[in-house]
Amino acid sequence: METSNFTPAEEEQIEQAFQELLADYAASHHRQKVEIITRAFQFAKKAHNGVRRLSGEPYIMHPLAVARIVVREIGLGSTSICSALLHDVVEDTDYTTEDIERQFGEKIAQIVDGLTKISGGVFADQAEKQAENFRKLLLTMSDDIRVVLIKLADRLHNMRTLGAQLPEKQRKIAGETQYIYAPLAHRLGFFPIKSELENLSFKYEHPDLYEQIESRLAACKDAQLESFEEFAAPIREKLTQMGYDFTISARIKSVYSIFRKMQRKNIAFEDVYDLLAVRIVFTPNEAMSEKDQCWILYAAITEIYHPHPERIRDWISQPKANGYEALHITVMGRNGQWVEVQIRTKRMHEIAEHGLAAHWKYKTGESSSEKELDHWLLEVKEVLENPDPDAMAFLDNFKLSLFAHEVFVFTPSGEVKTLPQHSSVLDFAYMLHTQLGQHCIGAKVNHQMQPISYRLKSGDQVEILTSQNVTPIPEWLNMVETAKAQDAIRKYLKHVSSPQAPAPTQAYPVTVRIRGIDRFGMLVQIIQTISEKMQLNMSDLHIQTEDQMFDCQIVVMVYSSASIEQLCTELGTIQGLSKVEVINVNVNANTN
């Protein structure tokens, strides 16, 4: 780093950047503590006075940029903003942690101290040193998660300005960003940050490939955005008629995401059909559940565009481990191209953008995502207390724990399947097919015989073994983790306990047609009857209204003829419906 006096223009640039930080802070939901932030800025500016980055700009512009990321993109408050402004003071100047504590208190000093300890990179020349650097990172995270959130912001700004570094340094920083920081951002729920880190890492690790894909993407971007406007127009009109406050925006795939898809599917750029995705973010009606309203928007969209029957991703019924919630559908546009549509409420969107910081904002008691984070941090401490003597194994094992809520298991053919942590052989059997689960007697795990209760680990290769003489017993409920397995076992036990009950089967789709006089709230009542009262899942929904008459077809996943009869009976009690009939039953459908 160089030192030289700043010009008046540079002083003005610094002041403007600070005012922009204050504006970002003022726009946040945090209690305003401008005085301490101003003091932290002045302290950092004095400490870094005359110092320049490799790019030539005043060094203070870096902590200012990190602080803006902390508040605007991560959503943290004054303590974290001050810590971000001061994060390089102890490492790069003569000031000490004690000086920080005297000026700003113990908590900010602790965070700055944690950031100072992990100021170097994770990657090193020797594996043992590399593992030790990473262990420091994890120790600070287990003490105060804000240390790692500010470190993510620091890394994001360094990646955005990596062009000033030499190529060798670029590749090293990009490599450790891809290896550690992007998965860490994903684990904590910061999807935009994760995506940008991946994209920038790819840019510096594979510059030629990046430039090729970027130029081809730029060449078709205008056409993609024009296609979006045509696609979005009827949806805007429909949702406005329905009275929703919403935004609809285009999302073009990142260069890295396109590269990954080309690699994974072994296809050319021209064959990546889903370059464009559409995101709808709406304010829900308080009188109705968010889940039901997402399905109502789904119904409205699929009235306009035909959905892909195998491309529905329901993360509102079962959110991802890192808290992500949304309903993803793929529909056929009028130009003959498939388009993914993401449906989110404002709350879901903020959690997707700001990760666990948004969970704190909406906290009304400890959520499952917060419990999951606490559980994960506890596991981090356990790993640190009993580190693997093999340094590289330590790094690799912890990298797997960045996805701690999930295990990745291979079928005999090499296909990857994802299950919740602690899933058993029996869970895996039910995941592959209900009938495999119902008759599972064990498995070959990594070519070794294991019982149905064996808990799977990431990297296991599993071959399920079955016998027609074996069927579920009550004790199986204590061996499974997944909702699918639990549900299938309970349904089997319930059926066999009744002598009149038909033999159980896997869930299969039934198309129900519902007709009647249209009225306000009709669709909501139908959806609530199916999803809440009957506890059944829907896989498709189409509605037509004409001359105040309501005609709806819904595909519902059922397990028996008895549940079909009960469903029709329950729907028949809804006021205004004149007819409820089953028009298609597909018992042989493969729903796994």
The two tokens of residue 224 are 């993609």
Cα gap 175→168, rounded to integer Å: 11
For residue 6, give the amino acid letter.
F
The two structure tokens encoding residue 274:
């889903």
Contact of 214 with 255, CB cutoff 8 Å: yes
Tell me how far apart the alpha carbons of residues 266 and 271 are, in angstroms, rounded to a whole number: 10
Helices (H), 319-472: 346-361, 368-385, 391-401, 425-432, 434-438
How far is Cα 168 from Cα 246, in angstroms, rounded to an integer? 46
If you count them, how many residues does the chain have?
Answer: 592
With beta carbons less than 8 A apart as the criterion, state whether 583 and 425 touch. no
Active-site residue, from 12, 91, 245, 390: 91
Measure the CA–CA gap between 429 and 592, rounded to whole angstroms: 11
Residue of 10, 20, 24, 92 marked active site: 92
Closest C-alpha to 326, from 289, 351, 358: 351
> Known catalytic residue: 314?
no
Mark whether 91 is an active-site residue.
yes
Side by side, the strands of the sheet bearing 440-445 are 448-450, 440-445, 462-466
Among all chains, which residue has been given the structure tokens 């010009």? 7
Q: Please, how many CA atoms are within 13 Å of residue 30, restricted to the half-sphere of its CB? A: 24
CA distances from 285 to 242, 282, 294, 345 (A): 11, 9, 11, 10
Task: Name the token pair of 582.
Answer: 């089953």
Q: What is the distance between the alpha carbons of residues 9 and 44, in angstroms, rounded to a whole number?
A: 19
- Catalytic residue numbers, as ranges: 91-92
